[in-house]
Structure formats: structure tokens, C-alpha cells
Structure 1
Amino acid sequence: ETSEQAKKDFLKTRYYKTNILLIMEYLKKYFEDSKIKIVSYDTNYNEISVEAELYNMTVRFVQVEAQEAAVDVFVDSYFLFDFNKTKKLINDFYDMLGKKFELKGLALHKEN
């Protein structure tokens, strides 16, 4: 899972210059177009959960400022031999978001 406190960059919370509703709507369409089953789309808890063939993913969003949205990813994978497949899944997910939304930074609100 990603977080503010992660030691490795690929696991750090990402911040984008946008609002969470735009990201959530974009991801909803992305998952639908990709034929990935949306299990939960919750605007009260700002969370999307999906099921794919080899993993489950929950994406959580926090609106930090008017144009600053935090995105964290939680993945349960079912790869027989992982060989960094989960890492690639997280990196690919964030890369996809970065093509649509401007990245503001990583772990911007980390407490020391």
C-alpha cells in the first residue's frame, strides 16, 4: 500500500493539482473502459474499490486544498510469483493518472 511514510518513492502518496471528484470520475470511466469490475464507488468515503483477475485494488482520495488531491493505493495481489508485478501495477496506475492530472509531488505532508 502507498502512504506518506513509505520509504520507497513508488509507495509514497501522490498529490495532484485537481480535485478528487474529477479524479474519481476519470478513474470510474477508466475502470469501466478497461472492463475492470468496480465493487464500490463511494463519494462519502472518497474511495473506489475494484476487482481484476489477479488483484483487488482500493484507491483512496483526500482533498487537501481546493486544487490538491492526495491519492493512495491499496493492492491485494494473487500473483503466484510476484516478481515485482505489484510494484509495476502501482507504478502503471500512477503513470496513468500522471498523464491526465498534473503531479504536485510525493508525500508532501509527511510528518517527521
Structure 2
Amino acid sequence: MNKNPQIIGTAAQIVVPDVVKTVEYYINVLGFELVAYFFEQPPVYGIVQRNGYQVHFGKSDDGTIHRNDTIRKGMPDFIFWVPEIEAFYDEVTRNGAIIMQEIIRRSYGREFIIEDCDGHLVHICD
């Protein structure tokens, strides 16, 4: 018996107004793949993944969403670490991503910010 349980993964869980629309955006613009849709028609929950990392989307009860930067200025809703930041930037801009901040260098590395189809801020860091 393992005495030291290990966490082997994590996934962002984001509330969105339209699960299908958001899942399609993450597939078509950010290069994710569909894992599954769940519950009801139209679905009220969906999961996408890229390179083994998942993002989960749940339908908002009343159509509203929450953005982290509404309670702390500049705080993204989630972060993806992508060592090949220029190639990813080229890919997502070709696919129509809205770039809120171009690639810049910070003390901790390079980054850029995407606003997704629901207004969530996706921070890309190398």
C-alpha cells in the first residue's frame, strides 16, 4: 500500500454560457481534442484535452460567467505552459485567436494572453 498518495493531474474547470460553442472554440482555435460531452442535449458539460492536459467546461445556470480579473486586475483564468511559445502563438493567431497581449519577456519568461470566445483570459507562458 502506498503511504504517500500522489496527485497525478489537474484540470481547469471553467463555467461558460454555451458548452458546445466553447468546446468548438478550444478545438478549432487552440488545437484541443474533444474528450467527451456529458448530460442533456445540448450538453451542459464538456471536456477537451491537448497533450494530455484537460480543460472542463460546465454550463452557467443563468448564462453569466466569472472572470478572475474582475476581482484581481490582470489575473488570468488559467495558464498554459508552452515551451514552443512562438510556434503556438503562430498556430493560434492563424486560427483566429484574439490576442490581448503580444509575446513579451518578463523576469520569469515570455508570455502572451488570449481572450477566449467567452471572455476568459488564457495566459500562455514558456
Q: Same fold (TM over 0.5)?
A: no
More strand by share: 2
Instruction: Kindly indicate whether structure 1 or structure 2 has the higher relative contact order, using CA contacts under 8 Å at least 6 residues apart.
Output: 1
Greater C-alpha Rg: 2
TM-score of Structure 1 vs Structure 2, range by shorter chain: 0.3 to 0.5
Hey, which of these two has a bigger chunk of helix by percent?
A: 1
TM-score after normalising by structure 2? 0.34
TM-score normalized by the length of structure 1: 0.37
